[in-house]
């Protein structure tokens, strides 16, 4: 297992934009921040239920973005506490490429992550984890990956064809993650790739540094890019700073649904904490359903603002993902992402059918208790 983990960590760090650290390191390159969020001060949001001293401890890894709203709601509405869980939120600002190594070691239990080339390579090397539920899709008129154009050049972009000859970008283009995959799908639809769809063409691509929101804002402020593909709520932040405007939703350009984020369970969590794994899913589905029933309310806005670390005004001007009300992922999209990154050479040998890393047993048990929609 130690040898397999070392190989996997090298793969993950190799596909990240930042320089690799020492192979076999037991901690992610960026220092995660662990928090147990306090109750939001907004009057419309109820305080979380008090956690019992006997509660089962669960570490949840995430990036502070809007697609993780079902988990945020489950925390703030007390659904985790009602299930006897004490959930510790551990932030990874660089995203899911950093999450899987500590997840495989049992340092994390659950993670919010899109499927990635590194994830597939890890599975092929024998690292065990499972996709257990949906955590945000681009489908049915909802999208959290959207194009923003720079304010001073916004008037030149009216149709998709206007992207030809422009300057655009995204972070970590060859990281094998779902955001750059979506960038390629947008480029394919806009005629900005070679005929095989594997290389960018017909415009100037400038990669956004992998430093997070600050670098994304700087690319417009310094007039380096004319457009970017961004994760909500960053397009609203662009508007808030007067740097850019949200131009097109991804689903207005790309026809097929895209599975942006999933909920992952680590091997040791499933093996050593089966009851916590079962209870977490029940609370997660409760949080998902509560969000779907109250989306647009001040309560949801306050919860999202608190956990995404932005103002409520920014949240109100942001767009939400589509969530399957029964927590199912879009398998076709996951398979297409697997096959695309394999064709690009980022996946070494692949796993064939992505259903090999999907486990619906926890979700099915939760739905048996809560009912389907």
pLDDT of the residue at 133:
98
Asked if residues 8 and 100 have their Cβ atoms less than 8 Å apart, the reply is yes
Using pLDDT thresholds of 50, 70 and 90, give the confidence band for residue 66: very high
- Mean pLDDT for 110-136 is 94
60 pLDDT more than 70: yes
169 pLDDT more than 90: yes
103 pLDDT more than 90: yes
Using pLDDT thresholds of 50, 70 and 90, give the confidence band for residue 54: confident
Domain architecture of the chain: domains with CATH: 2-139+259-370 (3.40.190.10), 145-252 (3.40.190.10)
Asked if residues 229 and 186 have their Cβ atoms less than 8 Å apart, the reply is yes
Q: Which is more confidently placed, 32 or 28?
A: 32
The whole-chain average pLDDT of the chain stands at 88
Q: Over the range 96-124, which residues count as b (16 or more CB within 10 Å of their CB) and which as e?
A: bbbbbbbbbbebbbbbbbbbbbbbbbbbb
pLDDT of the residue at 132:
98
Using pLDDT thresholds of 50, 70 and 90, give the confidence band for residue 47: low
Going by their DSSP bridges, the two strands 145-150 and 167-169 should be labelled as unpaired
Q: How far apart are CA 336 and CA 338, in angstroms?
A: 5
- Mean pLDDT for 15-32 is 36
Range with the poorest average pLDDT among 181-195, 209-223, 293-307, 350-364 = 209-223
pLDDT tens per residue, range 195-248: 999 999 999 999 999 878 999 999 999 999 999 999 999 999 999 999 999 999
Helix-, strand-, coil-residue percentages of the chain, each rounded to 5: 45, 20, 40
Q: How far apart are CA 140 and CA 182, in angstroms?
A: 16
Nearest by Cα to 80 from 66, 59, 65: 59
pLDDT of the residue at 53:
67
């Amino acid at each position: 297992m130690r040898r397999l983990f070392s190989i996997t960590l090298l793969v993950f760090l190799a596909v990240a934009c930042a320089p690799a650290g020492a192979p076999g390191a037991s901690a992610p390159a960026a220092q995660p921040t662990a928090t147990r969020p306090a109750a939001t001060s907004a009057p419309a949001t109820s305080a979380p239920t008090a956690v019992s001293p006997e509660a089962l401890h669960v570490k949840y890894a995430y990036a502070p973005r809007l697609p993780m709203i079902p988990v945020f709601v489950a925390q703030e509405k007390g659904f985790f506490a009602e299930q006897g869980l004490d959930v510790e939120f551990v932030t990874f600002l660089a995203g899911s490429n950093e999450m899987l190594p500590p997840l495989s070691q049992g340092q994390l239990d659950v993670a919010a992550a899109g499927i990635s080339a590194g994830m597939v390579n890890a599975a092929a090397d024998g690292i065990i984890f499972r996709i257990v539920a949906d955590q945000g899709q681009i489908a049915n008129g909802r999208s959290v990956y959207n194009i923003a154009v720079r304010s001073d050049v916004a008037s030149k972009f009216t149709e998709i064809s206007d992207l030809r000859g422009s300057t655009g970008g995204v972070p970590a283009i060859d990281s094998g993650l779902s955001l750059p995959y979506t960038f390629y799908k947008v480029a394919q639809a806009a005629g900005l790739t070679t005929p095989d769809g594997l290389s960018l063409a017909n415009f100037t691509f400038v990669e956004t540094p992998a430093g997070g929101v600050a670098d994304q804002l700087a690319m417009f402020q310094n007039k380096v890019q004319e457009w970017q593909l961004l994760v909500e709520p960053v397009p609203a932040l662009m508007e808030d700073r007067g740097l850019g405007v949200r131009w097109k939703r991804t689903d207005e350009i790309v026809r097929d649904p895209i599975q942006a984020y999933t909920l992952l369970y680590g091997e040791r969590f499933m093996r050593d904490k089966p009851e916590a794994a079962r209870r977490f899913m029940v609370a997660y589905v409760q949080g998902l359903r509560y969000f779907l029933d109250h989306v647009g309310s001040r309560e949801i806005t306050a919860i999202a603002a608190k956990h995404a670390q932005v103002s409520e005004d920014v949240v109100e001007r942001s767009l939400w993902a589509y969530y399957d009300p029964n927590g199912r992922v879009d398998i076709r999209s996951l398979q297409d992402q697997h096959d695309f990154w394999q064709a690009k050479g980022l996946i070494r040998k692949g796993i064939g059918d992505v259903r090999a890393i999907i486990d619906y047993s926890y979700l099915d048990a939760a739905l048996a208790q809560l009912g389907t929609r």
